[in-house]
């Protein structure tokens, strides 16, 4: 009985350690965790949810002017292409594990931030961070080498969003 309880406890602790290592802690990490989930699932709505609604509305208008497709279709196609690329690279595409490397508070958005469309946060910005993460694409053939990416996240009314400069970022 004690042996069964001990083994169960070890399994639970190991699972908890693995799951904690693959997601970012804190509300500021929510947009990046959501982005990783959306890339894995190929869900364009989930992917676009990490950006402010105001920005997405402006971008949708922009897409109807410059493109023969809409924003949702374009993002869906990019996610499908990414999924196929990662599947080819890994033999399967099972997940994207993300861990925090460095977090820095910013006083203002970087001057060299590149994005499409107009961007002005939809309210007063409460917190602005530069968040460097390490990520691993996981698949049937095992994990690939970790890569790093730096994201700008900010909060408005307690909700965190990705800066529009990351609109077409997909984990590859």
Tell me, yes or no, whether 2 lies in a domain: no
Residue for token pair 């997940």: 95
pTM: 0.77
| Confidence (pLDDT) at 1 | 46
Q: How confident is the model at residue 33 (pLDDT cuts 50, 70, 90)?
A: very high
Tokens 């690329």 belong to which residue?
Answer: 85
Q: Tell me, yes or no, whether 5 lies in a domain.
A: no
Evaluate whether residue 21 is within a structural domain.
no
CATH number of the domain to which 55 belongs: 3.10.450.50
Give me the pLDDT at residue 119, please: 67
72-104 burial, b at 16+ Cβ within 10 Å, e below that, comes to eeebbebbeebbeebeeebeebebbbbbbeeee
Domains contained in the chain, number = 1
Q: Is 76 within a domain? A: yes
Q: How many CB atoms lie within 10 A of CB 130?
A: 15
Domain that holds residue 99: 27-166
């Amino acid at each position: 009985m004690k042996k069964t309880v001990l083994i169960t406890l070890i399994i639970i602790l190991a699972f908890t350690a693995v799951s904690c290592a693959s997601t970012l802690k804190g509300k500021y990490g929510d947009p990046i965790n959501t982005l990783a989930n959306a890339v894995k699932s190929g869900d364009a709505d989930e992917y676009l949810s990490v950006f402010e609604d105001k920005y997405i509305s402006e971008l949708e208008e922009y897409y109807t002017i410059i493109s023969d497709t809409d924003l949702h279709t374009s993002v869906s196609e990019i996610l499908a292409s990414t999924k196929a690329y990662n599947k080819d690279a890994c033999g399967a595409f099972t997940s994207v594990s993300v861990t925090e490397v460095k977090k820095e508070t910013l006083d203002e958005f970087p001057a060299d931030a590149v994005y499409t469309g107009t961007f002005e946060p939809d309210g007063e910005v409460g917190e602005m961070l530069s968040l460097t993460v390490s990520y691993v694409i996981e698949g049937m053939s095992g994990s690939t080498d970790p890569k790093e990416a730096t994201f700008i996240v900010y909060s408005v009314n307690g909700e965190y969003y990705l800066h529009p400069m990351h609109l077409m970022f997909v984990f590859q």
